[in-house]
Amino acid sequence: MKQINEEVFFPDQEIVRVDRSEIEALQKQALTAKRRRSRLCTHRDVSDSLHEMLIVHPENTYVRPHKHLGKPESFHIITGTLSVIIFDEDGNITEIIPMGDYSSGQNFYYRIPDPLYHTVMITSEIAVFHESTTGPFKRSDTIFAPWSPKEKDLHGVKIFMNRFADL
């Protein structure tokens, strides 16, 4: 894997293959990364029309609620558990989707076709999931919820995440 920054990797092979050792390396990286996350982008470039990523989030990782303009998103859980939380425009929870791998008996796949505010709350020590969306990647296509705390607002993040402590 080629490391792009502290959290992002791209494959260094023509045909992308991922085994346990790559997932374990991503897990170790996520545990030491400042934002507590890592990902292997399996697409070649940010301009690709299909973006697929293997993403690792340890417990207590804050993913600021956001929505994607004109981009569907799907998750397939590989290991661990999490809840996808969907919000309305005012920040009220409209749905909570508990997820785990196939053997857990929970939802192991979800797809959100519309631009809805959402976040994930990790409910296991670490969660690994496969995410797919359309490209190209443009930061301006992601809209952060104005009612959610910015990542650097550690006190606000703690209060926000405590709302979901019982998931």
Residue 167: predicted pLDDT: 63
Q: Is 30 exposed, middle or buried (0-12, 13-18, 19+ CB in 10 A)?
A: buried
pLDDT by position in tens, the chain (length 167): 888 899 999 988 889 999 999 999 999 999 999 999 999 999 988 888 999 999 999 999 999 999 999 899 999 999 999 999 999 999 999 999 999 999 999 999 999 988 999 999 999 999 999 999 988 888 888 999 999 999 999 999 999 999 887 76
CA distance 138 to 18: 26
Tokens representing residue 77 in the block: 């859980």
User: What domains are there in the chain, each with its CATH number?
Assistant: 2-162 (2.60.120.10)
Give the per-residue pLDDT at 20. Answer: 95
